[in-house]
Amino acid sequence: MIKTTAAAAASLWLGTGPQILSARGANDKLNVACIGIGGQGGASVGGTSGENIVALCDVDDKRAGNQYGKHPSAKKYYDFRKMFDEMDKQIDAVTVATPDHMHFHPSMWALQRGKHLFCEKPMAHNVWEARQMTDLARQKKLATQLGVQRHTIAGIHRTVELIKSGAIGQVTEVYSWIASGRGMFPDLTDFPPVPDTLKWDLWLGAGPEHKYTPGLCPYNWRFWWNYGTGEAGNWGCHIMDIPFWALDLTYPTRVDATGPAVDAKKTPKSFSSKFLFPASGKRGPVTLHWLQGVPDILKEKGVGNKGNNLFIGTDGILSCGFGEPTLYPKEKFKDFKAPPKSIPDSPGFHKEWIMAAKGGKTPATCNFDYSGPLAETILLANVAYRAGGGFDWDSKALKTVGNDKAQALIREEFRKGWEI
């Protein structure tokens, strides 16, 4: 670690920082730095390629692929801290697409320095980190966007319009799920030398020490608790975005979870969780279920297992995925006329954020004020499962009332040298 970054790391604050960059005009180009440019990170590079990409940062040359060649004028970095040390005044906006355990640090360095931020889901590795990012972005009035790209799909828009119009009456319960059995991978036993193309210590970052293994890097880290958040973190924000949007959900007041025996290191192949949301405005209380696996309620209601969300209302049922929704009973709704379209098409998911960063009056649709509570909720599902039971959730104090084991998972320790 270079001296300047070591000093900065030791004083990574949670409050003050340089003043916000003044908003640019709609026709001016932003100076963008991309942190994590391989895999999903390539989408952020592509999504901002109409702006000035001034810096590209990745710890893995192989994973980064040909992104450096596509943007030869961008300065190359392995360590985002060095990038900020050298280019702070040249950067307006930052994208972050690193493994889950390393979302928080580069994101907070960006927000602290007044940079607009696009961060991949699930925002952070734990609830405390997500709340810090959400609060600081609001405090500094920065344009943010969480990588819930399916928010732009027309089928989701039609679902949200139907629910908000009251097509199935008052929604009382929702089931959201991912039909995946990924998790509980074999023990890690392959520890070859670190490839010349990889900066392993930087890949670990704030996460626990570990020998290099292809069982973690480049992809399967997401199924190990120290670095990932399992299929809940992988898919939860995309899928639960639909009920969160349709029902204007924010923070639950109760969280419960059940599943197979908990492994201290590995994420599960299946589990189920339940959140209670209090009444708000004209909406009554809502019970939201998140499952890794297909819920039994689909058979009980005679609904096919396609899709990923089931809304149960006082006047009917709506089943949907990311495409067009279906209303049940079909006979009842055979002549149903959908409400007029009210949700406009997106100009592009990254474009929304870019426009907001340039001073547009409309925030990006998945700005942190909306997506922060969404991300926290899916992370709370993991907390309840890992803690072996539920708790009342005090969202203001970030307290798992009556469950000390769960409380210990709300905020985690960082590796030496990366402390806050």
Residue spans of alpha helices (H) in 48-144: 61-64, 67-70, 80-87, 104-112, 127-139
Task: Examine the pLDDT at 332 and tell me if it is beyond 60.
Answer: yes
The reply to whether 189 falls in a domain is no
DSSP symbol at 327:
E
Average pLDDT estimate for 336-347: 97
Same domain, residue pair 357 and 337: no
The reply to whether 81 falls in a domain is yes
| Cα–Cα distance, 9 to 418 (Å, whole number) | 6
CATH assignment at residue 176: 3.30.360
Same domain, residue pair 249 and 122: no
Q: Are 50 and 31 in contact (CB under 8 A)?
A: no
Same domain, residue pair 161 and 137: no
Digit-coded pLDDT (tens) for 127-183? 999 999 999 999 999 999 999 999 999 999 999 999 999 999 999 999 999 999 999
Which pLDDT score is estimated for 2?
30
The reply to whether 412 falls in a domain is no
Same domain, residue pair 107 and 177: no
The reply to whether 117 falls in a domain is yes
Task: Examine the pLDDT at 14 and tell me if it is beyond 60.
Answer: no
How much of the chain exceeds pLDDT 90, in percent?
A: 93
Average pLDDT estimate for 267-277: 98
Place of tokens 């932003």: 30
Same domain, residue pair 314 and 177: yes
CATH assignment at residue 359: 3.40.50.720
- Please, which residues have CB within 8 angstroms of residue 297's CB and are 6 or more apart in sequence? 175, 303, 310
- DSSP 3-state assignment of 341? coil
From the CB of residue 192, how many other CB atoms can be counted at a distance below 10 Å?
A: 9
Same domain, residue pair 118 and 175: no
| Cα–Cα distance, 86 to 225 (Å, whole number) | 33
Count structural domains, the chain.
2
Digit-coded pLDDT (tens) for 245-257? 999 999 999 999 9
Which pLDDT score is estimated for 26?
65
Same domain, residue pair 357 and 382: no
The reply to whether 337 falls in a domain is yes
The reply to whether 190 falls in a domain is no
Range of the domain at 56: 3-150+352-368
The reply to whether 217 falls in a domain is no
Same domain, residue pair 157 and 255: yes
Same domain, residue pair 301 and 240: yes
Which pLDDT score is estimated for 22?
47
Same domain, residue pair 289 and 301: yes
Same domain, residue pair 293 and 364: no
Digit-coded pLDDT (tens) for 359-393? 999 999 999 999 999 999 999 999 999 999 999 99
Q: Is the pTM of this model over 0.85?
A: yes
| Cα–Cα distance, 292 to 389 (Å, whole number) | 17
Same domain, residue pair 99 and 179: no
The reply to whether 285 falls in a domain is yes
Q: Using 50, 70 and 90 to split pLDDT, how confident is the model at 13? A: very low
DSSP symbol at 266:
B
Digit-coded pLDDT (tens) for 274-329? 999 999 999 999 999 999 999 999 999 999 888 999 999 999 999 999 999 999 99
